[in-house]
Amino acid sequence: MEYRRLGSSGMYVSEITYGNWITHGSQVEQDSAIKCVRAALDNGITTFDTADVYAGTRAETVLGKALKGVKRESYELLTKVYWPTGTGKNDRGLSRKHIIESVNASLKRLKTDHIDLYQMHRFDYETPLEESLSAFDDLIRQGKVFYIGFSEWSSDQIQAALKIQDARGYTRFISSQPQYSMLWRVIESKVVPTCEANGIGQIVWSPIAQGALTGKYLPGKKPPAGSRATDKKGGANMISRWMRDEVLSAVQNLKPIAEANGLTLAQLAVAWVLQNPNVSSAIIGATKPTQIKENVKAAGVKLDGETMKAIDRALGSLPECDPSKTVSPNPRA
């Protein structure tokens, strides 16, 4: 495992982050989830990402149980706030009320007294930005949160927040958590340059495009039984955008490139996002320990210029690059 600084902060994160977005509390049973967390630790992963909304708060609970007994200083714990965690009007968004109530609930579920990185899970168009940033700064001063970040914000939103943080003397953001993969490159033209200029690192999610870049989905064929594309709890909906024959055929064209580098397609996909110098870590999920053992092999891999060009040629015009695709919905709509 290799480790990188998160943005301009002094905190290091593992190049591979273990995330439990769809799996814990939903796709796999608790015993399997705990085995995956232990496998992550055994393979050098020290960074764990979750969110209050995952599996209706159950994902945080499972992660808290899985990390029980592990020295707290030995890992970095990441979670988020924004999406609905209840039926009440205030059980969502980035109001001071919801932020404070959510962080306290997350701490209980995760069985810890602090969160290493607390993130605004989307941009909230209803709550004044100053209110959200003030609440986050208070959490840092209280010692409940060490660092702060955001997920899926546009360049304009990032700059607006930094302006307020600087004017008020608030602690600055150090991380961005966007979707990023060979097929989804919307952050490259605006978000990444803004973050690079302001000491913000990327912890990217879905580097394997929800599994589409593993090569296990074949054009003209039904998805394998038990795969994410057959998971009606949420996985199938997320991967559906890539389940087109033209995309699946292009992914098969990546096989000789991966083989030439001694990698599987999944390892190639993770290694690809890590070639971006603004990326601090790539989040992987897993339903079984063997998947973790395989994907961590992407850490430390260096892809040469010719390999990167060959990947671009194989995918052609299929990757989405439009920066306007970085959009946060209204949580109450």
pLDDT, tens digit (0-9, with 9 covering 90-100), for 87-130: 899 999 999 999 999 999 999 999 999 999 999 999 999 999 99
| Other C-beta atoms lying within 10 Å of the C-beta of residue 9 | 18
Catalytic machinery residues:
54
Higher pLDDT, 124 or 33: 124
Say how far apart CA 76 and CA 11 lie, in whole Å. 9
Lowest mean pLDDT among 192-201, 262-271, 323-332: 323-332
Structure tokens at 174: 């150090």
Nearest to 224 by CA among 237, 205, 234, 211: 211
pLDDT confidence of 162, banded at 50, 70, 90? very high
The answer on pLDDT for 22 being more than 70 is no
Percent of the chain with pLDDT over 90: 74
Say how far apart CA 259 and CA 101 lie, in whole Å. 49
Higher pLDDT, 64 or 221: 64
pLDDT confidence of 235, banded at 50, 70, 90? low
Q: What is the DSSP letter of 233?
A: T
Q: Which CATH architecture has domain 3-325?
A: Alpha-Beta Barrel (3.20)
Higher pLDDT, 176 or 210: 176
Higher pLDDT, 237 or 36: 36
Higher pLDDT, 178 or 229: 178
Distances (CA, A) of 7 to 43, 133, 281: 23, 19, 10
Mean pLDDT for all residues in the chain: 91
The answer on pLDDT for 204 being more than 70 is yes
Say how far apart CA 256 and CA 244 lie, in whole Å. 21
Q: What is the pLDDT of residue 311?
A: 96
Q: Are 299 and 3 in contact (CB under 8 A)?
A: no
**The pTM is what?**
0.91
pLDDT confidence of 234, banded at 50, 70, 90? low
Q: What is the pLDDT of residue 229?
A: 52
Which contacts qualify for 39-45: CB closer than 8 Å, 24 or more apart? 39/286, 39/289, 39/292, 39/293, 40/286, 40/292, 41/70, 41/75, 43/1, 43/292, 43/293, 43/296, 44/1, 44/14, 44/296, 44/299, 45/1, 45/14, 45/16, 45/17, 45/18, 45/292, 45/296
Q: What is the pLDDT of residues 247-268, one digit of tens each?
A: 899 999 999 999 999 999 999 9
Say how far apart CA 78 and CA 105 lie, in whole Å. 14
Q: Are 118 and 148 in contact (CB under 8 A)?
A: yes
The answer on pLDDT for 231 being more than 70 is no
* Packing angle of the helix pair 58-66, 96-110 (nearest 10 deg): 40
Structural domain spans, the chain: 3-325
Higher pLDDT, 197 or 57: 197
In the predicted model, what is the mean pLDDT of residues 206-210? 92
**Strand 145-150 versus strand 115-120 pairing type:** parallel
Q: What is the pLDDT of residue 331?
A: 59
Q: What is the pLDDT of residue 239?
A: 74
Structure tokens at 106: 């997350």
The answer on pLDDT for 291 being more than 80 is yes
Q: Are 70 and 104 in contact (CB under 8 A)?
A: no
Say how far apart CA 242 and CA 239 lie, in whole Å. 6
Q: What is the pLDDT of residue 25?
A: 46
Lowest mean pLDDT among 129-138, 195-204, 235-244, 306-315: 235-244
Say how far apart CA 275 and CA 304 lie, in whole Å. 9
Q: What is the pLDDT of residue 20?
A: 83
pLDDT confidence of 286, banded at 50, 70, 90? confident
Alpha-helical segments (H) within 111-205: 129-142, 155-168, 191-197
Q: What is the pLDDT of residue 215?
A: 85
The answer on pLDDT for 205 being more than 70 is yes
Look at residue 119 and give its three-state secondary structure. strand
Nearest to 12 by CA among 280, 295, 284, 299: 280
